[in-house]
Chains A and B, each alone.
Chain A
């Protein structure tokens, strides 16, 4: 009888390491994610089904118990659950009209932390990341080098950088270069 082979899932940044004296780069834990589109009248039902208030304000985010909802556009959110919950089923249970797409394996994330984190991200992203312009909890879809990212400020010196998995070596590499520069 032929041996059964089993495919092992390998994280896009499984063995990536980088950073410098002032910046730490850590591939984020695997998470489930959905890209959620809904009109304003469905936001209430979806919020209670997902267990957190979908932010209405531009660039706002909501975080509770390892689950985050990031405002991307007036009718678009990126919902991330770090505990691997079935977000598609949760959204479907809302009973309100919406469009949800499972993008868990499309995206991966890098946690950038340390006193030089903003400087490292600014190496490829022209946004103003001072605390005044970018307070804790602000998120935005933006450009990092040549790749599109979703940036979330988790604390004063910690950012979550979500990018597509095929771009992740590029994003991680450019962040590592930026981290070297930030340390100087």
Chain B
């Protein structure tokens, strides 16, 4: 079972208690009424969906109820760091901590698609 560290409870809890809430650090425009449709689309709908490190909001909904931010590797599903909402985006410039044992398509099949 995946364990997630809640920065408010200060301990690892089971994934059953958590719920994902989309990408983190998306600044809401302060001039919402003035922006163009394209700018609104970019803010509201368009996401990167990267392969590797992603910054996300999570909620400890069946625990303390708090939203917090997490850095997660989308390949290995490993949580690299969790931090409280409102704290600055941490600088994770290390290589994606993908476990070599993770059975990715490339690892198993190479590039022979």
Contact = CB atoms under 8 A, between A and B. Distances in A.
A73 B10 contact: no
Contacts of B10: 58-59
B66 A127 contact: no
Given A126-B1, A126-B14, A143-B14, A148 B62 contact: yes
For the side of the interface on A, what is the size category? 10 to 19
Contacts of B99: none
Interface of A: 58-59, 72-74, 76, 126-127, 140-143, 148
B66 A73 contact: yes
A40 B26 CA distance: 28
B29 interface: no
Interface of B: 1, 8-11, 13-14, 16-17, 62-66
B16 A126 contact: yes
9 contacts: A59-B11, A76-B65, A126-B1, A126-B14, A127-B13, A140-B9, A141-B64, A142-B62, A143-B16
Contacts of A143: 14, 16-17, 62
Nearest to B61: A148
